[in-house]
Amino acid sequence: MSELRISGLRKSFDGHRVLHDIDLAVERGTLLALLGPSGSGKTTLLRVLCGFERADAGTIEIDGKRVAGDSLHLPAERRRIGYVPQEGALFPHLSVADNIVFGLPRGQRRARHRVEELLKLVGLPADYARRAPQQLSGGQQQRVALARALAPSPSLVLLDEPFSSLDAALRTETREAVAKALAATGATAVLVTHDQAEALSLGHEVAVLWNGKLIQTASPQRLYRRPATRELATFVGDAVLLPGIAGHGTATCALGTLKLLAPVPDGRVDVMLRPEQIRILAEDEASSRDSVSFEALVTELRFNGPDARVTLQTRGASPALIRSSVPGHRAPRIGELCRLTVDGEVLAYGAGSS
- Assess whether pLDDT exceeds 60 at residue 31: yes
Cα distances from 271 to residues 5, 61, 259, in angstroms, run: 35, 40, 10
CATH code for the domain of 40: 3.40.50.300
User: How far, in Å, CA of 40 to CA of 215, rounded?
Assistant: 11
- Assess whether pLDDT exceeds 90 at residue 55: yes
- Same-domain pairing of 63 and 180: yes
- Same-domain pairing of 172 and 250: no
- For strands 278-280 and 294-303, give the pairing: unpaired
The residues that bridge with 191 in the sheet, in sequence order, are 33, 159
Q: Which of 184-188, 209-213, 232-236, 301-305 has the lowest mean pLDDT?
A: 184-188
Q: Which of 105-109, 217-221, 249-253, 298-302 has the lowest mean pLDDT?
A: 105-109
**What's residue 291's pLDDT?**
55
3-state secondary structure at position 219: coil
- Same-domain pairing of 174 and 248: no
Residue-wise burial string across 224-246, b where 16 or more C-beta atoms lie within 10 A, e elsewhere: bbebbebebbebbbebbbbebeb
**What's residue 1's pLDDT?**
40
Task: Give start and end residues of each alpha helix (H) in the chain.
Answer: 42-50, 96-100, 106-110, 115-121, 138-150, 168-185, 196-202, 220-225, 230-235, 283-286
What pLDDT digit, counting tens, does each position of 311-339 carry?
Answer: 999 987 778 999 999 999 999 999 999 99
pLDDT confidence bin for 260, thresholds 50/70/90 = very high
pLDDT confidence bin for 271, thresholds 50/70/90 = very high
User: How far, in Å, CA of 18 to CA of 10, rounded?
Assistant: 8
User: How far, in Å, CA of 196 to CA of 233, rounded?
Assistant: 11
Query: Cβ-count burial of 248 within 10 angstroms (0-12 exposed, 13-18 middle, 19+ buried)?
Result: exposed
What pLDDT digit, counting tens, does each position of 92-117 carry?
Answer: 999 999 999 998 877 777 767 789 99
- Assess whether pLDDT exceeds 50 at residue 254: yes
- Same-domain pairing of 224 and 81: yes
Tell me which of 206, 231, 256 is where a domain ends.
Answer: 231
Provide mean pLDDT across the span 63-74.
93
Tell me which of 231, 258, 289 is where a domain ends.
Answer: 231
**What's residue 109's pLDDT?**
73
**What's residue 346's pLDDT?**
97
- Same-domain pairing of 201 and 283: no
Which residue in 133, 45, 39 sits closest to 87, CA to CA? 133
Residue of 107 and 162 predicted with greater confidence? 162
Kindly report the pTM of this predicted structure. Answer: 0.89
Residue 320 neighbours by CB under 8 Å, 6+ apart = 242, 253, 254, 313, 314
- Assess whether pLDDT exceeds 80 at residue 167: yes
User: How far, in Å, CA of 10 to CA of 4, rounded?
Assistant: 16
- Same-domain pairing of 307 and 335: yes
- Same-domain pairing of 221 and 198: yes
Tell me which of 231, 253, 286 is where a domain ends.
Answer: 231
- Same-domain pairing of 223 and 299: no
Residue-wise burial string across 272-309, b where 16 or more C-beta atoms lie within 10 A, e elsewhere: bbbbebbbbbeeeeeeeeeeebbebbbeebeeeeebbb
**What's residue 319's pLDDT?**
87
- Same-domain pairing of 141 and 167: yes
Phi, psi of 278 (to 5 degrees): -90, 105
**What's residue 276's pLDDT?**
96
Q: Other CB atoms closer than 10 Å to residue 327's CB: what's the count? A: 10
**What's residue 111's pLDDT?**
66
Which residue in 252, 251, 215, 254 sits closest to 235, CA to CA? 215
- Same-domain pairing of 250 and 331: yes
Q: Which helix (H) or strand (E) holds 271?
A: strand 267-273
- Assess whether pLDDT exceeds 90 at residue 229: yes
Residue of 111 and 142 predicted with greater confidence? 142
- Same-domain pairing of 201 and 100: yes
- Per the structure, the count of domains in the chain is 2
| Domain enclosing residue 339, as ranges | 238-350
What pLDDT digit, counting tens, does each position of 280-306 carry?
Answer: 998 767 666 555 688 999 999 999 999
3-state secondary structure at position 183: helix
- Same-domain pairing of 182 and 245: no
User: How far, in Å, CA of 89 to CA of 178, rounded?
Assistant: 16
Provide mean pLDDT across the span 236-250.
95
CATH code for the domain of 333: 2.40.50.140
**What's residue 294's pLDDT?**
87
